[in-house]
Homo-oligomer: A and B are copies of this chain.
């Protein structure tokens, strides 16, 4: 469909790559927002935001984690997680408690309401699956490719050091 052959295959830099990186970053940017907007009306009745829902998802996989452990999975630091978790606690989905063995750490634990949400989420997940309009195979491929790219991007992020 896309017939962009005006910019010649000149000099050193492959033009195709140049145009594509813009399209890719915009595609990821747009897809993230589109997903967010699709989830919003489904999550609103539960008083949850999309990031809060994602945090719950990781707790469904493994409950009773520290803020740091959650942050490692989500790629977020305490600057983002502390207030987010405080809101999740205020709305009754989790509890936060200092680890008795190491008072520096805070253990995040699902409440009954938080576990119940996992069951309610089934309907939400079906909706999202439908909304993407993708086949199972397409979803798998897309997820796999995104994960691979993300991994390469993260590995390239030099956590610098002096």
Cβ of A153: which chain B residues have Cβ within 8 Å of it?
A: 31, 34-35, 37-38, 131-133
In the complex, whether A156 has a CB less than 8 A from a CB of chain B is yes
- Contact (Cβ within 8 A) A20 B156: no
- Contact (Cβ within 8 A) B54 A25: yes
- Listed stretches A82-90, A95-103, A139-147; interface member: A139-147
In the complex, whether A154 has a CB less than 8 A from a CB of chain B is yes
- Contact (Cβ within 8 A) B25 A28: no
Cβ of A23: which chain B residues have Cβ within 8 Å of it?
A: 143, 147
Q: Which of A50-64 contact B (CB under 8 A)?
A: 54, 57, 61-64
Cβ of A32: which chain B residues have Cβ within 8 Å of it?
A: 28-29, 31-32
- Contact (Cβ within 8 A) B145 A30: no
Cβ of A136: which chain B residues have Cβ within 8 Å of it?
A: 14, 16-17, 20
- Contact (Cβ within 8 A) B143 A27: yes
- Asked, given contacts A132-B153, A142-B145, whether A25 binds B21 with beta carbons under 8 Å apart, the answer is no
Smallest CB-CB A-B distances: 4 pairs:
A133-B152, A32-B32, A27-B146, A34-B153
